[in-house]
């Protein structure tokens, strides 16, 4: 899969909803419950981080549950090429990194796996663009802030940012207004009340987009 097709996958088949659930440090059962809250709230896709081998069963469990809903599940915190094998064995549809590793990008492109590298500087954005990637993870978004997004959208208007790291439903709208395409939320899906806040965020985003 060429990089242009990887970009198309993110744009056309994935990020049609401006929120992705990011699940970290959960048991398989907990991860499926949180993912189910996210799906029920209107979120389509979920990322399960696999910073350790012990986290892979949670990814696999969510991937099985997602298959019944036609949703895509990604493997997050990919920092070594070997983790791509674990992601594939767990049936992950895409991978996410906290930073930009050219080796991981090249191997992802070779394998045809949609990959979302993390960026925090203009130089890193330039390196990602050199590979033809247009969808990038702004991380840690809560530290970078919405003004960073506005500043980067100036020289890079064709880049789509996914803001993750310390994000909450209560503040996500600020980042979306600043030009972020998708916000990654985590702790909101640990409770029904949090999921309800995400549901309201998505409803308000729809109203804003449609002008209702």
Alpha helical stretches, state H, 9-140: 28-40, 56-67, 83-89, 102-111, 122-130
Any domain includes 209: no
Among the options 2, 47, 102, 153, which is catalytic?
47
Q: Tens of pLDDT along 76-96?
A: 999 999 999 999 999 999 999
pTM for the whole structure: 0.92
Query: In this structure, is residue 55 part of a structural domain?
Result: yes
Catalytic: which of 30, 137, 168, 200? Answer: 137
Predicted local distance difference test score (pLDDT) of residue 145:
98
Q: Please give the residue range of the domain that contains residue 99.
A: 3-203
pLDDT at 210: 36
- Flag whether pLDDT at 26 surpasses 60: yes
pLDDT at 3: 62
Q: Residue 117 has what pLDDT?
A: 97
Decide if 26 is inside a domain: yes
168 is catalytic: no
What are the pLDDT digits (tens) for 85-141? 999 999 999 999 999 999 999 999 899 899 999 999 999 999 999 999 999 999 999
In a domain, 212, yes or no: no
pLDDT above 80 for 206: no
Mean pLDDT of the region 25-38: 98
CA 35 to chain centre: 13
Q: Is residue 210 in some structural domain?
A: no
Distance of alpha carbon 32 from alpha carbon 69, whole angstroms: 12
Q: What does the pLDDT read at residue 132? A: 92
Are the C-beta atoms of 6 and 134 separated by less than 8 Å? no
pLDDT value at residue 13? 63
Phi-psi region of 132 (alpha: psi -120 to 50; beta: other; left: phi over 0): left
CATH number of residue 51's parent domain: 3.20.20.70
Cα distance between residue 80 and residue 103, in whole Å: 9
The structural domain count of the chain equals 1
**211 found inside a domain:** no
Cis status, amide bond into 140, omega within 30 of 0: yes
Q: What is the pLDDT of residue 116?
A: 96
Determine, yes or no, domain membership for 162.
yes
Q: 188 pLDDT exceeds 90?
A: yes
CB atoms within 10 A of CB 59: 27
User: What mean pLDDT, rounded, does the chain reach?
Assistant: 92
Cβ neighbours of 57 (radius 10 Å): 15
Q: Is residue 112 domain-resident?
A: yes
Provide the pLDDT for residue 4: 66
Known active-site residue 47 = yes
Give the pLDDT band (50/70/90) at residue 10.
confident
């Amino acid at each position: 899969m060429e990089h242009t097709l990887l970009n198309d996958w993110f744009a056309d088949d994935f990020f049609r909803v401006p929120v992705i659930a990011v699940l970290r440090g959960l048991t398989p059962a907990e991860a499926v419950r949180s993912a189910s809250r996210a799906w029920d709230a209107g979120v389509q896709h979920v990322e399960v981080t696999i910073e350790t081998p012990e986290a892979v069963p949670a990814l696999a469990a969510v991937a099985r549950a997602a298959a019944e809903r036609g949703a895509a599940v990604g493997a997050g915190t990919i920092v070594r090429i070997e983790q791509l094998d674990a992601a594939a064995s767990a049936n992950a549809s895409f991978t996410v990194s906290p930073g930009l590793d050219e080796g991981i990008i090249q191997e992802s492109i070779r394998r045809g796996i949609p990959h979302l590298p993390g960026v925090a500087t203009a130089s890193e954005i330039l390196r990602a663009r050199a590979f033809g990637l247009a969808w990038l993870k702004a991380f840690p978004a809560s530290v970078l802030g919405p003004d960073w997004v506005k500043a980067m959208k100036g020289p890079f208007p064709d880049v789509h940012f996914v803001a993750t790291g310390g994000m909450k439903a209560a503040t996500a709208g600020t980042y979306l207004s600043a030009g972020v395409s998708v916000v990654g939320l985590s702790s909101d899906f640990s409770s029904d009340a949090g999921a309800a806040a995400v549901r309201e965020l998505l409803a308000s985003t729809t109203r804003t987009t449609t002008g209702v």
